[in-house]
C-alpha cells in the first residue's frame, strides 16, 4: 500500500505567477499553511490568504537584492528531513525546524532574459540559486515531499488531494521528483551552454543538452519507433521557432527534412535574389536563385522533378500568389518561408494537408553553434559548419581563369554542396542546380549519378542539350584520383571548385588543363556524413 503524506505546510516561491492564486485557494481551503517569499507572498496576501513569510522561518530578511532568501537550515531542513529517522526528528525539535510537505517553485526566466537581448550582467542576475537548491532538496526527499515545478501540474496536484483526502501518494511524489530533477538539469545545462557561447576557444570538459518537450510525434523515422520533438528554449530558432499556420501535424521526418531545407536556404540572403530549395530525405534535390521567387522555384523544381514529389520547399522571401500557384501544382509535404501574402495563403488553403510554416525573423542560422551527434555510448560534439569563403581563400590552379558567370556558378554550387550528404557533387548553371550526387561511397560515382540525373531530366523536359554542358561543378572534398574529374569533363562541366589537398592534385590539375577547364581550390572541406 502506498504511503500517503498529509500536506500541512506548503512553500510557494514562483517567478511565473500564472495560476498560483487558484492553486493557493485549493490549498488554503484544506487549511494548509502557506509559506512564501517576497513577490509571491504579496500576491497571495492581496488575494486574501494568510501567508507566513519565509523570513519568519529563517529569522533573516531577504537580502543582497534577493540573492539570499531561502538558503537556510530552517527551509532546507524542513524539505530534507527523514521523518522516520530519530536523529533527524530530534534535530528538527531542537532547532525548531518545521516540516514542509509541498514545494511549489518555478525559476527565474533565464532563457527569456537571454532571448530578449539582455546584457551579460542582467543575464547573470537571472540565474536562480535558491530555487534549484530547494527543488533538489525536496525532490531528493520525495518519500515525504511533493515537488511542483510546472504550472501544467497544478491541476494534477488538486486532483491528487481530492482523491486522497488532502494527501499525496508515493507514486505521485516520485513522478514529480523525476520531473523536478529533469528541470534542474535542464536549467543548469542551459546556463552552462550560454556561458560556453560567451567564451571563445574553450573545449568543455562536460557538455549537457538542454531541451524541453514541444510535442509528442506519431512515430519516428519508421512507424515502430516512438518519437518526440524537444526545443532548446534558450536558442529558440530555426524550425523550432516557426509558426505552423496550416496543415497536418509535423512528423519526425517532416521536421528533420525541413530543418535541412531551412539551413540551406539560409545560405542565400534576400539581397542576393529570391531563393528556393527543395529537399527530400534531408538532401537537396533542387536549388534556384533568381530575380523572382516563382523563377527560383521553377529552376529548383526543374533540377529533379521526380525527387521533388513529396518534398520540402524552403524559401528565403515572402510567398506571393504566383509562387503559391506554382508550388501547389506538385504534391509537397511542407513549405517554409519568412512570410506569406494573404492571397498566397488563400491559394494554399486549397491544399489543406500541406503544412505551411512561417519563420519570421528566425531564418538566419538560428540553431546552436554546436552540432551534436549521438553514437552508441556517447555523443560527438563539433562546431557548426558556418565558415564562409573570402576572396583570399580562393586559388585558381589552372591555366584558365574562370569567367564572371563561371565564378558566380561555382560559388553557388559550393554553397549547395555544403548541405549535400558526402560524397557530394553539385552541377550548377545560371544560379540553379542541374545535377546533384549525394551520399555515395565513391566520389566518381557521385559525379556520374549527378550527371545521369541531369541527363534524365533533360529527356523528360524535351531538352536537346544536357544541362551539365557548360556547368560549374562543386565537390565537398578533394578528388583523390583524376577519374572523378574525367567524369565531370564527360558530363560537360567547364569549371570546378573543390578544396584541393590530395597527393594527386598535380595529376588532377593536368587533366583539367588538358580539357581547358577552370579550377579553383578553396582550402576548405565540407563533409556532411
Highest mean pLDDT, choosing among 92-96, 126-130, 178-182, 453-457: 178-182
Query: Dihedrals φ, ψ of 151, to 5°?
Result: -60, -35
Share of the chain above pLDDT 70, in %: 97
Tell me the CA distances in angstroms from 252 to 217, 235, 475, one per residue in order.
7, 20, 30
pLDDT digits (tens, 9 = 90+) for 13-23: 998 999 999 99
CATH T-level fold of 242-358: Cytidine Deaminase; domain 2 (3.40.140)
* Region of poorest pLDDT, from 80-94, 369-383, 416-430, 509-523: 369-383
| Residue 305 appears among annotated catalytic residues | no
Q: Which residues pair with 278 in a beta bridge?
A: 286, 313
Set 8, 25, 140, 365: catalytic member: 140
Query: Does 366 have pLDDT greater than 50?
Result: no
pLDDT score, position 60: 80
pLDDT digits (tens, 9 = 90+) for 395-444: 999 999 999 999 999 999 999 999 999 999 999 999 999 999 998 999 99
Where in the chain is CATH 3.40.50.1380? Answer: 5-197
Where in the chain is CATH 3.40.140.20? Answer: 242-358, 392-521
| Residue 281 appears among annotated catalytic residues | yes
Confidence band of 362 (pLDDT split at 50, 70, 90): very low
Tell me the CA distances in angstroms from 231 to 86, 185, 440, one per residue in order.
45, 15, 32
CATH T-level fold of 392-521: Cytidine Deaminase; domain 2 (3.40.140)
pLDDT digits (tens, 9 = 90+) for 443-474: 999 999 998 998 888 888 887 788 899 999 99
The grid cell for 495 is: 569549371
Share of the chain above pLDDT 90, in %: 68
Number of Cβ atoms within 10 Å of the Cβ of 338:
18
Query: Does 380 have pLDDT greater than 50?
Result: yes
Query: Does 351 have pLDDT greater than 90?
Result: yes
Transcribe 314-366 into DSSP letters: EESS-B-HHHHHHHTTS-EEEEEES-B-HHHHHHHTTSTTSEEEE-TT--SS-
8 A C-beta contact, residue 482 and residue 507: yes
The whole-number average pLDDT for the span 118-122 is 89
Question: What CA–CA distance (Å, rounded) separates 102 from 8?
Answer: 8
The whole-number average pLDDT for the span 242-268 is 94
* Second-level CATH architecture of 5-197: 3-Layer(aba) Sandwich (3.40)
Question: What CA–CA distance (Å, rounded) separates 256 from 221?
Answer: 9
The grid cell for 325 is: 500557384
Set 98, 281, 351, 370: catalytic member: 281
Question: Which position has the grid cell 521528483?
Answer: 177
Prediction pTM value: 0.82
Query: Does 29 have pLDDT greater than 80?
Result: yes
Question: What CA–CA distance (Å, rounded) separates 384 from 15?
Answer: 34
Question: What CA–CA distance (Å, rounded) separates 279 from 286?
Answer: 7
Question: What CA–CA distance (Å, rounded) separates 423 from 405?
Answer: 25
Amino acid at each position: 500500500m502506498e504511503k500517503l503524506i498529509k500536506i500541512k505546510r506548503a512553500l510557494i516561491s514562483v517567478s511565473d505567477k500564472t495560476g498560483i492564486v487558484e492553486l493557493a485557494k485549493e490549498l488554503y481551503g484544506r487549511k494548509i499553511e502557506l509559506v512564501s517569499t517576497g513577490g509571491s507572498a504579496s500576491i497571495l496576501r492581496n488575494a486574501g490568504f494568510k501567508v507566513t513569510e519565509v523570513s519568519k522561518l529563517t529569522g533573516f530578511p531577504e537580502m543582497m537584492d534577493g540573492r539570499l532568501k531561502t538558503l537556510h537550515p530552517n527551509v532546507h531542513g524542513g524539505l530534507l528531513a527523514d521523518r522516520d529517522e530519530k536523529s533527524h526528528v530530534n534535530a528538527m525539535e531542537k532547532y525548531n525546524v518545521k516540516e514542509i510537505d509541498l514545494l511549489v517553485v518555478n525559476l527565474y526566466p533565464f532563457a527569456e532574459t537571454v532571448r530578449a537581448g539582455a546584457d551579460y550582467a542582467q543575464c547573470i542576475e537571472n540565474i536562480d540559486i535558491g530555487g534549484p537548491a530547494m527543488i533538489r532538496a525536496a525532490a531528493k526527499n520525495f518519500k515525504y515531499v511533493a515537488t511542483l515545478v510546472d504550472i501544467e501540474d497544478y491541476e494534477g496536484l488538486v486532483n491528487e488531494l481530492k482523491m486522497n483526502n488532502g494527501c499525496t501518494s508515493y507514486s505521485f511524489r516520485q513522478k514529480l521528483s523525476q520531473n523536478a530533477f529533469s528541470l534542474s538539469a535542464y536549467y543548469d545545462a542551459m546556463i552552462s551552454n550560454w556561458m560556453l557561447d560567451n567564451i571563445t576557444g574553450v573545449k568543455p570538459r562536460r557538455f549537457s543538452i538542454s531541451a524541453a518537450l514541444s510535442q509528442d510525434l506519431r512515430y519516428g523515422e519508421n512507424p515502430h519507433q516512438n518519437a518526440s520533438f524537444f526545443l532548446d528554449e534558450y536558442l529558440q530558432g530555426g524550425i523550432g521557432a516557426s509558426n505552423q499556420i496550416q496543415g497536418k501535424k509535423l512528423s519526425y521526418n517532416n521536421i528533420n527534412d525541413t530543418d535541412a531545407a531551412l539551413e540551406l536556404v539560409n545560405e542565400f540572403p534576400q539581397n542576393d535574389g529570391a531563393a528556393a530549395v527543395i529537399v527530400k530525405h534531408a538532401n537537396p534535390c533542387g536549388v534556384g536563385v533568381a530575380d523572382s521567387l516563382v523563377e527560383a522555384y521553377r529552376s529548383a523544381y526543374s533540377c529533379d522533378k521526380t525527387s521533388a514529389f513529396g518534398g520540402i520547399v524552403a524559401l528565403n522571401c515572402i510567398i506571393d500568389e504566383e509562387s503559391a500557384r506554382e508550388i501547389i501544382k506538385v504534391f509537397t509535404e511542407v513549405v517554409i518561408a519568412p512570410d506569406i501574402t494573404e492571397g498566397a495563403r488563400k491559394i494554399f488553403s486549397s491544399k489543406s494537408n500541406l503544412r505551411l510554416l512561417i519563420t519570421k525573423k528566425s531564418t538566419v542560422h538560428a540553431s546552436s553553434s554546436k552540432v551534436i551527434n549521438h553514437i552508441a555510448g556517447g555523443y560527438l560534439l563539433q562546431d557548426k559548419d558556418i565558415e564562409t569563403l573570402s576572396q583570399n581563400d580562393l586559388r585558381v590552379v589552372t591555366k584558365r581563369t574562370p569567367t564572371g558567370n563561371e565564378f558566380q556558378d561555382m560559388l553557388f554550387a559550393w554553397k549547395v554542396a555544403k548541405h549535400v550528404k558526402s560524397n557530394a557533387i553539385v552541377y550548377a548553371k545560371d544560379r540553379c542546380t542541374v545535377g546533384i550526387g549525394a551520399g555515395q561511397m565513391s566520389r566518381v560515382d557521385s559525379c556520374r549519378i549527378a550527371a545521369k540525373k541531369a541527363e534524365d531530366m533533360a529527356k523528360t523536359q524535351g531538352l536537346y542539350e544536357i544541362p551539365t554542358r557548360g556547368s560549374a561543378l562543386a565537390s565537398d572534398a578533394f578528388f583523390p584520383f583524376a577519374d572523378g574529374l574525367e567524369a565531370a569533363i564527360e558530363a560537360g562541366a567547364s569549371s570546378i571548385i573543390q578544396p584541393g589537398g590530395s597527393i594527386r592534385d598535380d595529376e588532377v590539375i593536368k587533366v583539367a588543363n588538358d580539357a581547358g577547364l577552370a579550377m579553383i581550390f578553396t582550402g576548405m572541406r565540407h563533409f556532411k556524413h
